[in-house]
Each structure stands twice: as C-alpha cells, then as structure tokens.
Amino acid sequence: MTNFKAVGSRLLQLALVLWAVVTILFLMFRLMPGNPMAAYIDPTFTLEQQQQLMAQFGLDKPLWQQYLIYLGNLLQGELGQSFRYREPVGERIWTLLPNTLVLTFSSLIIAYAFGILAGAYLAWRRGSFIEQAAIPAVLTTRAMPEFWLGMVLLAIFSFSLGWFPAGGTRAPGAEYSGFLDLYTSRDFLSHLILPAATLAIYSQGLPLLLMRSNMLDVMKEDFVTMARIKGLSNWTVVVRHAARNALLPVMTSFAIAVGYQLQGNVVVESVFSWPGLGRELVNAVAASDYPLAQGAFLMIALVVILMNLLADLLYAVLDPRVSHA
C-alpha cells in the first residue's frame, strides 16, 4: 500500500519534472533574442513550404496556442524537421542514440568495475601509504577536464603511437548491415577504446570514493564484528558482508552517473568525432539547426530524468529493508 503510494507520487514527480523541462525548452527556443520563427522554419524553404510548416506548428497563432500545439506534437513524438539533414529530427536522434548509449555504458561499466574493486581495496588498506597516495590521485582525476584528457590520449595513442584511429566509429568506407554488426566489429572496438577510456578514467573516481567511504562505515557496523566473532573467513567478512552492504548506494549511483555521463559526452564526443547525441547537439546549436538542437536536448534530458527515477527504484529493489517492507 505505502509502496504503491510512494511509487505513485514518484511518478507524479517525474511527470512534473518532464513537463517543466519541456516548458523551459519551449520558452528558451521561443523567447530568446532572434527570430523565434526560426526555431521551426528553415529559411531556405519555399514560401509555400514555410507557410505549411507555420500552420503545422501553429506559429501563426498566439503563444499559448503554440504551446499547446507544441505539447501535442511532443506527445505524438513529433519533433520537427532538421534543417541540415532535411529529415525528421526523431529519426536522426534514433540513429545517434545507440552510439551515445554504447559509449556511455561501456565506459561506465569499466569505471564501476574498477572503482568498486579499488574502493573496497583502499578501504581495506586504510591508513596505508598506498591509500594516502591514491585518494589525492583520484581527486585529481575528478578535477580534469574530460575533453583535455581525451586530447592527451589522442595525441599519444593515436597521433604518436598510431595504435588507435583518431575519431568516428568506423574505418572510412567500411559498411555494416546494422547496429549489431557494427558494434561487434573489431573496427568499432578500436574506435571505441580511446573515448571510452577517457570517460572511464574520469568516471571511476565516483564509485571508488563512494565505495571506499561506505566500506569504512560498514566495517564499523555490529554485524561485521559479529561475522568475525562467528569465525568466518576474512574474505567472507569483507566481501559477503562489508562489501555487499557498501555496494548498495554505489549501485544506485550508477543510474545517476549515466545521467551525468551523458552531459560529459557532449565534449568527449566532440573530441573524438563520435557520432552521438552530444556532438549532434553541439553541431546543431552551432549551425542554428534549432529543431535538431531542441530534440537532442530533450532526449538527453529525458534520459537524465529517467535515470534519476531508476536510481530511486533500484534502491528500493536492491535494499531488502525497502523491498520487503
């Protein structure tokens, strides 16, 4: 009962946030200096085409009606037409989203696997020299501009050593029959490694520091002491009890990190010419392709918001104190 209520109110909150972000976006693209019409109408279209689009998006109507039409279009998934590509924004986004997700998830999974292990290790070795040196080093990785790290890796591993290609997702001229075909190719992997490494090096600090401090807290708990009094092996105590409990908040942070990472992608995708949502957003804004910029922004926001929700749900599922209330 209370569970249903909690989920219900959380969904309501989600709807509110979504609506608010959509509205902010509407206002940003209509009320900003410059010709608001430009947000939807490609100036190179013929007058007839322009008028047709004006009607479709209701740009000849008062603002509040435009707003309603805008909401209605969004609800139907109608994001307009990209100026540059002359194709529906929705389609463009759907082709780019997988690239972004592959990059995001591959880098985050590496970052989390490493961060969790290293964080648990540092907690275990608390007070040792290696811990004293590692913590500032990790903080330093959090202080790096991601794109700069990407540049350094590119300069070394691509331009100097020639181990990896400098950008994109595939060798020039290579053709693939679909996403799966592309993503499982060696070619793709060699393109993925540098950008994924860049994002992973930046991201590992969060799970690492979080895991470490949680471990330190959990190690002080009575049930860990009891596990020792039970004569359980050190491994069982540290891994099955301490680490298992410390892992809970780290796992939920994964979802939030996906949201953060998506923003970091904007710059890293640009460095590596990675055809993803972030780079598209930058290019669209720079080229005044407003429908595409708006669509890409919305998509990123949608993922951020959904991931915030997922974090809460994940917590509820993973923690028996919540799931078995």
Partner 1 sequence: MTEPLLSVRDLRVSYQVGRSFVHAVDGASFDIPKGSITGLVGESGCGKTTVARALTRVIADNAAITGGEILFEGRDLAKLPEREMNALRWRDIAFVPQSAMNSLDPVYTVEYQLGEVLRRRGGMDRRQARKRSEELFEMVGIDANRLNDYPHQFSGGMRQRVAIALALALNPKLIIADEPVTALDVIVQRQILDQLKELQVRLGLSVILVTHDISVVAYICDRTVVMYAGKVAESGTMQAALTAPSHPYTMGLRNAFPDLQGAASGVLTPIEGAPPNLANPPAGCRFKPRCPFALDVCGSEPPVVDVAPDHPVLCHRARESAALRIEAAKTETWMARA
Partner 2 sequence: MPEIAAPAIIKPRRPNILARMFRTLRLPVNDPFAVAGLLIYLVFIATAVFADQITTHDPTEILYTPSYDLAADLRPGQDGFIMGTTSLGRDIFSQLVYGSRSALLIGVTAAFMVALIGSIIGLVAGYFGRLVDAVLMRLADIAFGIPFLPFVIVLAAFLQPSIWNVVIAMALVLWRDTARVIRSQVLTLRTRGYVEAARVAGSSDFKIIVRHIAPNILPLSFLYGSIAIGWAILTEASISFLGFGDPDSISWGYMLQDAFASQALAKQAYYWFVPPGICIILVVSAGFFITRGYENILFPKLNR
Give the distance, in angstroms, between the CA of residue 287 and the centroid of all CA atoms in the same chain: 24
Under the criterion CB under 8 A, does residue 109 sit at the interface with partner 2? no
E strands of the chain, at which residues? none
- How far is Cα 182 from Cα 297, in angstroms, rounded to an integer? 26
Residue 43: closest CA among 89, 83, 82, 11 = 83
User: Which of residues 196 and 303 has its CB atom nearest to partner 2 in the complex?
Assistant: 303
Residue 140: closest CA among 196, 198, 205 = 205
Size of the site for partner 1 (CB under 8 A): 22
Under the criterion CB under 8 A, does residue 142 sit at the interface with partner 1? no
Give the distance, in angstroms, between the CA of residue 95 and the centroid of all CA atoms in the same chain: 16
- Total H helices, total E strands in the chain: 15, 0
- How far is Cα 246 from Cα 224, in angstroms, rounded to an integer? 12
Residue 259's CB: how many other CB atoms inside 10 A?
Answer: 19
Q: With contact defined as beta carbons under 8 Å apart, do 278 and 285 qualify? A: no
- 256 sits in which H/E element: helix 244-271
Under the criterion CB under 8 A, does residue 317 sit at the interface with partner 2? no
Q: Show contacts with partner 1 in window 166-225 (CB under 8 A).
A: 221-223, 225
Q: Show contacts with partner 2 in window 184-243 (CB under 8 A).
A: 205-206, 209-210, 212-213
DSSP per-residue string spanning 42-109: -TTS-HHHHHHHHHHTTTTS-HHHHHHHHHHHHHTT---B-TTT-SBHHHHHHHHHHHHHHHHHHHHH
Q: With contact defined as beta carbons under 8 Å apart, do 274 and 167 qualify? A: yes
89-124 and 290-318 are packed helices; what angle lies between their axes, rounded to 10 degrees? 40
Under the criterion CB under 8 A, does residue 2 sit at the interface with partner 1? no
Residue choice 128, 244, 313, 317 for contact with partner 1 (CB under 8 A): 244
Q: With contact defined as beta carbons under 8 Å apart, do 236 and 82 qualify? A: no
User: Which of residues 227 and 305 has its CB atom nearest to partner 2 in the complex?
Assistant: 305
User: CB 230 → partner 1: shortest distance, Å?
Assistant: 5
Mark residues 284-323: x for contact with partner 1 by CB under 8 A, - for none. Answer: -----------------------------------xxx--
User: CB 234 → partner 1: shortest distance, Å?
Assistant: 9
Residue type, 258: V
Under the criterion CB under 8 A, does residue 93 sit at the interface with partner 2? no
Under the criterion CB under 8 A, does residue 151 sit at the interface with partner 2? yes
Under the criterion CB under 8 A, does residue 236 sit at the interface with partner 1? yes
Binding piece for partner 2, criterion CB under 8 A, among 45-53, 58-66, 148-156, 170-178? 148-156
Under the criterion CB under 8 A, does residue 160 sit at the interface with partner 2? yes
From partner 2, partner 1, none, interface partner of 266 (C-beta below 5 to 8 A by class)? partner 2
Residue choice 120, 296, 310, 314 for contact with partner 2 (CB under 8 A): 296
Size of the site for partner 2 (CB under 8 A): 62
Which residues contact partner 1 by CB under 8 A?
Answer: 221-223, 225-233, 236, 240-241, 244-245, 248, 319-321, 324
Which residues contact partner 2 by CB under 8 A?
Answer: 13, 16-18, 20-21, 24, 28, 32-34, 135-136, 139-140, 142-149, 151-152, 154-155, 158-160, 166, 205-206, 209-210, 212-213, 249, 252-253, 256, 259, 262-264, 266-267, 270-271, 278, 281-282, 285-286, 293, 296-297, 300-301, 304-305, 308
